C-alpha cells in the first residue's frame, strides 16, 4: 500500500509539472516560483519566452540638460555654427566647431590651422580666449547696456559675446550705440541682432575680460 501511495503521488507531481510548465504568460511574475511549504516539490517551469524576457538587457536612458550654464552657452554656439563638428571648414574658409576665421585665430596665437582642426581641446580653448578678448573690448558696453532693450532685443552679456563671436566686437559696438539701427549680417544672412537674442541669458561670468588673451 505504501509503494502504491508513493506511485500515485509521483504521478500527481509529474502531472502538475507538465500542466504548469507549458502555461503561457504575457509577462514574468517571479513570485510564482517561490517554493511552498505545503508542496515542496511543486514548481513552475519557465518557458523560452519568459527566459528571453529575463535575459533581455534594459535599454539605458540618458538625459543631458546644460541649461544656461557656460558649458550650455558654448555648446549652443558650437551647434549653431557647425552642428558641433570640430573638423568642418565651410566654403568661406571658416574653421572648426566655432567657425573661426584665420585672422581671428592669429589674434589669439593660433597659426597652424591644420593642427587646429585636429585638436578638439585647442578649439575649446580658442573659444574661451576669443570670448575673453571680446569681453575686454566690450567691457564698457556690457556695463552700460546689459539689462536694457536695444532694437527690440533685451541685451545680456552672453548675447553680446555671442554677437561678437559672429560679427566681431566692432559690429556689436555699432549696433548698441546706434540703438539697433546699424547692424551686421554674415555671409549666410545671420545678424548680430539674432545672435544677441538667441544666446541671451547664459551665465558667462567665468569668462574674464583679458586684453591679451591667447591660447598659445
Contact assessment for residue 192 and residue 151, using Cβ atoms and an 8 Å cutoff: no
Percent of the residues in the chain that have a pLDDT greater than 70, as a whole number: 70
The confidence band for 216, taking pLDDT boundaries of 50, 70 and 90, is confident
| Choice among 40-49, 113-122, 140-149, 158-167 with the minimum mean pLDDT | 40-49
Phi, psi of 100 (to 5 degrees): -85, 145
| Choice among 12-16, 98-102, 147-151 with the minimum mean pLDDT | 12-16
Strands (E), 41-181: 149-150, 153-154
Q: Write down the pTM of the prediction.
A: 0.70
Looking only at Cα atoms, what is the longest distance across the chain? 111
Q: How far apart are the first and last CA of the chain?
A: 98
Task: Give the mean model confidence (pLDDT) for residues 130-153.
Answer: 98
The confidence band for 66, taking pLDDT boundaries of 50, 70 and 90, is confident
Phi, psi of 95 (to 5 degrees): -115, 145
Phi, psi of 89 (to 5 degrees): -130, 120
Q: What does DSSP assign to residue 30? A: G
> Residues 175-196: pLDDT tens digits?
999 999 999 999 999 999 999 9
pLDDT above 50: residue 22:
no
More confident residue, 61 or 72: 72
DSSP-derived 3-state class of residue 121: helix
Among candidate residues 165, 12, 147, the one with its CA nearest the CA of residue 98: 165
Amino acid at each position: 500500500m505504501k509503494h502504491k501511495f508513493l506511485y500515485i503521488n509521483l504521478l500527481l507531481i509529474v502531472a502538475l509539472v507538465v500542466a504548469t510548465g507549458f502555461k503561457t504568460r504575457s509577462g514574468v511574475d517571479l513570485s510564482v516560483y517561490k517554493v511552498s511549504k505545503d508542496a515542496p516539490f511543486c514548481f513552475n517551469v519557465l518557458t523560452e519566452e519568459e527566459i528571453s524576457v529575463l535575459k533581455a538587457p534594459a535599454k539605458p536612458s540618458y538625459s543631458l540638460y546644460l541649461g544656461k550654464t557656460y558649458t550650455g552657452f558654448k555648446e549652443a554656439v558650437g551647434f549653431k555654427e557647425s552642428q558641433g563638428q570640430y573638423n568642418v571648414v565651410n566654403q568661406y574658409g571658416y574653421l572648426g566647431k566655432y567657425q573661426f576665421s584665420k585672422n581671428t585665430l592669429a589674434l589669439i596665437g593660433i597659426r597652424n590651422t591644420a593642427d587646429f582642426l585636429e585638436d578638439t581641446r585647442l578649439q575649446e580653448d580658442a573659444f574661451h580666449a576669443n570670448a575673453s578678448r571680446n569681453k575686454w573690448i566690450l567691457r564698457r558696453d556690457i556695463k552700460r547696456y546689459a539689462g536694457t532693450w536695444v532694437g527690440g532685443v533685451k541685451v545680456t552679456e552672453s548675447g553680446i559675446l555671442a554677437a561678437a563671436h559672429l560679427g566681431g566686437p566692432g559690429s556689436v559696438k555699432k549696433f548698441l550705440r546706434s540703438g539697433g539701427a546699424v547692424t551686421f549680417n554674415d555671409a549666410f544672412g545671420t545678424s548680430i541682432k539674432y545672435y544677441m537674442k538667441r544666446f541671451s541669458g547664459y551665465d558667462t561670468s567665468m569668462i574674464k575680460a583679458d586684453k591679451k588673451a591667447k591660447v598659445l
